[in-house]
Amino acid sequence: MTPIGIAVLGGVAAVFAWAAWSPPQRAPDEDEDRAPPSPGRPELISSSRTWWYRHQYGLYLPLVLIVLDLLPGAPAKLAFGGLAFILLAPLFWNSRRLMQVRMDGESLHISDLSEELVVPLTWVDHVSHSTLPFLTLHPVTIHLNRDTSFGRRITFVPWSWRGPSPFLAPPVVGRITEAAKLAKQRP
């Protein structure tokens, strides 16, 4: 292996180690007494690791290139490269859609980590979540009734939540739904 390959592999391993061993985030307790979100201070309802979730699959590219460099012969390289593409492309594509979401009493603050958009809660049509048990992140999708620069569907990873079943909705789904209902009832 070349020295550049070793350096890239070491850097990628360091990033993975940092993400794996960083302290777990604390999910807000449902029974915890706390003030409702105020219009002046939006509350983060998506995971604090959104950046990592958006970029982690792009970090596999150097590893794939190093393995391709080490494999002997064109057929092995073609087979491994094709398999890596088939497995990683959908993951990379889907992870790029994840947004950071904050909520206050009147609006959602949606960010793709480079620009932020403020959407009134009255624009929320409904909120859904993934029930696929192999998706450990339990992504939540906010369906809007109007077009925005991010589209009509906003997908994010909520705070870490381990329910009794992977088929149950994370508590944030009900919170957004109730906040949207309240916002629509206001004059």
| pLDDT tens, position by position, 66-79 | 888 888 888 888 88
Burial 80-103, CB ≥16 within 10 A → b, else e: eeeebeeeeeeebeebebbbbbbb
Domain map of the chain by residue range? 3-24+37-185
Sheet holding 43-44, edge to edge: 43-44, 100-103, 107-111, 116-120
Burial of 45 (0-12, 13-18, 19+ CB in 10 A): buried
12-67: per-residue pLDDT in tens? 666 665 555 444 444 444 444 444 555 567 889 998 888 888 877 777 777 788 88
pLDDT for position 66: 81
103 close to 37: Cβ distance less than 8 angstroms: yes
Tell me the fold of 3-24+37-185. PH-domain like (2.30.29)
pTM, full prediction: 0.70
Using the predicted structure, report yes or no on whether residue 125 has a pLDDT greater than 90: yes
Q: Give the containing element (helix H, strand E) for 142.
A: strand 140-144
Count of residues in the chain:
187
